[in-house]
Structures are given as structure tokens and as C-alpha cells.
Amino acid sequence: MEPTAPQSPRKVKIAYYSVNDPLDRRSWSGITYYLGQSLQRNIGEVDFLGPVKFPRWLDKVLRGMAKLTRLFFGTEYYTKYSFVQNWYSTRFLKRKMKGKDYDFIVGPASSPALAGLDTDLPIIAVHDATFHLLSNYYKEFDKASKISKWEGEKLEKRALPKSSFIVYSSHWAANSAMNHYGIAKDKILITPLGANMDYAPSKDIIFEKEKNKELTLLYLAVEWERKGGAIAFEAMKELHEKHGIKARLIVCGCVPPDSFQHSHLRVIPFLNKNKKEDHDLFVELLSTSHFLILPTRADCSLLVACESNAYGMPAIATATGGVPDVVKNDINGYCLDYEARGDKYADVIASLYTDKQRYHRLIISSRQRYEDELNWDKWAERFRDVYPKVLSAHKRSS
């Protein structure tokens, strides 16, 4: 009798529970797409359930509520956190799951829609913040109506306990889950997210920036104010005036207000990386700029630092939100105090740039941090250590 060939282990089947389009690179700043692709590549078979297609009547009702709230109370009603929208999202996604066999559910930033889900499957949620943090951190919530804040908090309180396990991208977010929502520490994994890139650049390219004789700072962001554009501009001026370094600041992704003018300021309002010429310019910027400078005022994570590190570019950012879990001092950049202005950023940058050996080491360690921690395959490795334990625990409890 012929010996039976060993069978390869069965791939786990994952229900990817996302309200937004999981195949759209813009969903949740690209995280939903790249997380889903990483699970598909490294973990198992992924059934992408989203996007939720809302009926016209519901869209009209929610738009009407938002308009009335703005008109009568001068506040904003955020439909993302409404009970009605999330009731429909849950109904829609559950219907797509009907009759299918899954091992577990992965919900990326889906707390509102998970709040009403009743299922026998274990749920693994992936987040970069809690609602409590978001509503007390981002300026947009200053305008939020009381009902939006109440609904958002209620949905979070219902959703988190339903999760068998939660992956948070920072200690900042995980501590909020434990302290404000009472989530047990043993139900949480803290690990940074990955760079939203389709491939890693060659290692050789990381030293291209050392051939650039003009100190070049890259401000890569779509929001000027929230990402600290004014402070980055101050830093460039301080390098000129205080340190005598003719630094250049490249602003890519947004347009500064007219008051920010300088002969060493270059503005690239938008790059479409799907176009070859734009993609080539993007690669050139990341390869030849010396520092990513983002004195951000609020960030749950600093995904662009993961990308810059892939090109060996250290990030100079702010110790706020989840940023310190991404940017480690003297490894892949520096996090400055929230109160620091342009002069402090200029001091750090000048000190690093003028010490060529130290800067060379920082290029190498920035790339190494990307390879060791800040890519989606590494994220999947850590996830692979977790989900079998989640399945075993769920099976025992069932």
C-alpha cells in the first residue's frame, strides 16, 4: 500500500467584519486594506464582508438628523456613531455571513457595528484608540453633539466586552481600554501597525539621502494644522537663522496658508501614487529627504513614520497619543514634548545631521525598526501567536 501523504493543516477561515470597503486603500487611512491583505497572505482565508451598502432612505434620514442638529444646536451629529446606522450595518454584515463557515471574526475599527452583533464566533477586534480617547482628544469632537458622544460611548461599551481579544496599536489605547472600559489585560495585545506599502524598497536605497548635500525635511501630511505644519516651518527657519544650515522644507499632501512663505519651502499639494510619475516622485522624496518632520498635535499612530523608516528616514515627531509606540528615541527618530516649538525641533535635527556617523547609524536603525516591527508581515506573526489561544479559550468556554 502506498503511504498516505501528510495533509497540510487546514487554513482558518476569517470573517472580515468591516463597514467600509476593505479593498479600498483609503479606508481607515489604508489600515483596513493592508491588514486584510496581511491576514490573507499570512493567516488564512479571508471573506471580505464590507462595504456596507446603505439604502437611500437611511442615508436621507441620517443626513436630515445631521442637518437639523447643525441648524438648531450648532453642533455636529456624527452618523458613524448613530444607533440606526450601526443597527443596519450589523444586519447587513450578518446577512452576508449567513450559511458560511468561519473560525473567527476580525473587526478592524468596527466597534460601533460590533456592538449589536450576536454570534457564537470569537471576535478579535483591531483598534488604534477607544471612543473615550477619540472624543476627548481630537478637535473635531469639540463640535460633536451630546447625542453623538452618548451614542458613541454606548456602542463602545457594548462592543468591547463582546470581543474575545483586542489588538491595540499602542499602550495609550490599551490603557484606556483597561482603565476606562474595564477590559482585562490578558485580552489585549499591544503591537504597532505596519507601513501601508505594497512592497519594501531595496536596502541600497536608504543611503541615497546621504548624497543629498542640502538638509531636506519632509512634511508628509494632508492636514496642515493638526499635523503641526507651523512648527515644522518654524524649525526650518530656525535651522537657517540659529544654526546656519540652509535647510529645505518639502510640504507634500497639503497647502500651507498664504502666510507661510520662504525661498526654501517647496509645496507638492497632492501625489497620486497610482500614476507612475507621481509614484516615482514619492519614492524620490522618501529616498533623498533626511528627516520626516511631523510635530503632530493629535495622532493615534504615526503610520507615515513606518513608511519613512522603510526608506531609512528617521522621524522627528511629538510624544502624543500612540506616536511613542512607533517612534523610539535614537532608534528610528525622536519624540519631542508636546510643548516644544520649532527651535527645539531645529536643535535636535541640527545635532543629528551635523554628526555624520550618528546620522548614518540612525539611517540603519530606522530601516531595521521597519524590518523588525513596523511592517504588516511582522504584525501577522504576532497575530499568529494569539489567535490559536483565542480559539482554544473560546472552545473551552463554549
Domain presence at residue 233: yes
Residue 2's pLDDT is 46
DSSP codes, 261-285: --TTEEEE----TTSHHHHHHHHHH
If 0-12 CB within 10 Å is exposed, 13-18 middle and 19+ buried, where does residue 241 land?
A: exposed
Q: Residue 133 and residue 32: Cα distance in Å, rounded?
A: 20
In a domain? residue 7:
no
pLDDT number for residue 4: 47
User: Do 45 and 178 share a structural domain?
Assistant: yes
Question: Is the pLDDT at 205 greater than 90, yes or no?
Answer: yes
CATH number reported for the structural domain that contains residue 100 in this entry: 3.40.50.2000
Q: Where are the alpha helices (DSSP H) in the chain?
A: 31-42, 56-73, 83-97, 111-114, 131-135, 146-162, 171-181, 229-241, 276-288, 303-310, 342-354, 356-372, 376-397
Residue 323 lies in a domain: yes
pLDDT at 7: 45
| Residues of the domain holding 61 | 12-194+376-397
C-alpha cell at 9: 493543516
Same domain, yes or no: 117 and 225: no
What span, in angstroms and rounded, lies between the C-alpha atoms of 178 and 192? 18
Determine which helix (DSSP H) or strand (DSSP E) holds 136, and give its type and residue range. Answer: none
Q: What is the pLDDT of residue 396?
A: 87
What is the grid cell recorded at 300? 493615534
**Residue 229 domain-assigned?**
yes
User: Which three cell numbers mark 328?
Assistant: 523610539
Q: Are residues 137 and 39 in the same domain?
A: yes
Q: 219 with 286, same domain?
A: yes
**What whole-number percentage of the chain has pLDDT above 90?**
92
What's the confidence (pLDDT) of residue 398?
72
346 pLDDT higher than 90: yes
pLDDT tens-digit series, residues 146-192: 999 999 999 999 999 999 999 999 999 999 999 999 999 999 999 99
The rounded percent of the chain whose pLDDT value lies above 70 is: 98
Clarify whether residues 382 and 282 are in a common domain.
Answer: no
Q: Is residue 3 part of a domain?
A: no
Same domain, 170 and 32: yes
Rounded average pLDDT over 106-132: 96
According to the model, what pLDDT value does residue 288 have? 97
In sequence order, what are the residues at sequence separation of 6 or more whose Cβ sits closer than 8 angstroms to the Cβ of residue 63?
A: 79
C-alpha cell of 58?
437611511
Select from 128, 108, 116 the least CA-distant residue to 89. 116
* Cα–Cα nearest to 42, from 376, 302, 282, 348: 376
In this prediction, residue 10 carries a pLDDT of 72
- Which amino acid belongs to residue 199? Y
Same domain, 106 and 210: no
User: Is residue 313 domain-shared with residue 331, that is, in the same domain?
Assistant: yes
| pLDDT number for residue 9 | 58
184 and 239 in a single domain? The answer is no
6 located within any domain? no
- Residue 228 sits in the same domain as residue 297: yes
Pairwise CA distance, residues 218 & 249, whole Å? 6
DSSP for residue 321: T
Distance CA 155, CA 149 (A): 10
Q: How far apart are CA 316 and CA 336, in angstroms?
A: 8
* pLDDT exceeds 90 at position 1: no
pLDDT computed for residue 397 by the predictor: 83
Cα–Cα distance between 393 and 391 in angstroms, integer? 6
* Confidence band of 106 (pLDDT split at 50, 70, 90): very high
Least reliable range by pLDDT among 5-14, 83-92, 165-174: 5-14
CA atoms of 48 and 40, how far apart (whole Å):
10
Domain count, the chain: 2
What is the SS3 assignment for 156? helix
Q: Pick the range with the lowest mean pLDDT from 2-11, 88-97, 164-173, 332-341.
A: 2-11
Q: Average pLDDT over the chain, rounded to whole?
A: 95
Asked whether residue 225 falls in the same domain as residue 327, the answer is yes
| 213 shares its domain with 187 | no
